[in-house]
Structure 1
């Protein structure tokens, strides 16, 4: 993923968008800090529809007792 300074992204926004649509997202930086990402709308939709781990667990239908917990004490690594 390429990085581009904000002022350069402003000057070439059309090219930045074209590259994102072609599968090459860009990280926009301001004063050397990463501030934003320009990616295609298709990539955005794909990434925004991924459920969180918590939602996956909540929808799993698991109830208390479905999973066995390993009660073995942890090993001592002598730190």
Structure 2
């Protein structure tokens, strides 16, 4: 969608919402394209800053100091209903 500068200023929240939901929003001044408002995820992708799954997971919390208590009882038998 195209927005004149004055309209984009008045409806900035809508411009942002549409950039996120529908894609880039072009801003014009005197009919000339002067700017594009894009979703932050698209900006990061274009800059090459988008993380892959591995990097995303590595930035998560660590398990240092995590204490897990496990039962020492034997596991139960499971009947699969066949001749296994």
TM beyond 0.5: yes
Structure with max Cα Rg: 2
Q: Cα distance, 1:44 vs. partner? A: 0.3
Q: Partner residue of 2:25?
A: 26
Question: Where do 1:12-23 residues align within 5 Å?
Answer: 12-23=11-22
Q: Cα distance, 1:37 vs. partner? A: 0.2
Q: Which has the higher contact order (CA 8 A, sep 6+)?
A: 1
In the alignment of these two chains, the number of paired residues is 49
Q: Cα distance, 1:10 vs. partner? A: 0.3
| Moved beyond 6 Å, runs of 4+ | none
Question: Where do 1:2-13 residues align within 5 Å?
Answer: 2-13=1-12
**What CA RMSD, in Å, does the superposition of the two structures yield over aligned residues?**
1.4
TM-score, structure 1 normalization? 0.58
Counterpart CA distance in 1 for 2:41 and 2:27 is 19
| Unaligned residue ranges in structure 1 (runs of 5+) | 51-79
1:46 aligns with 2:28: no
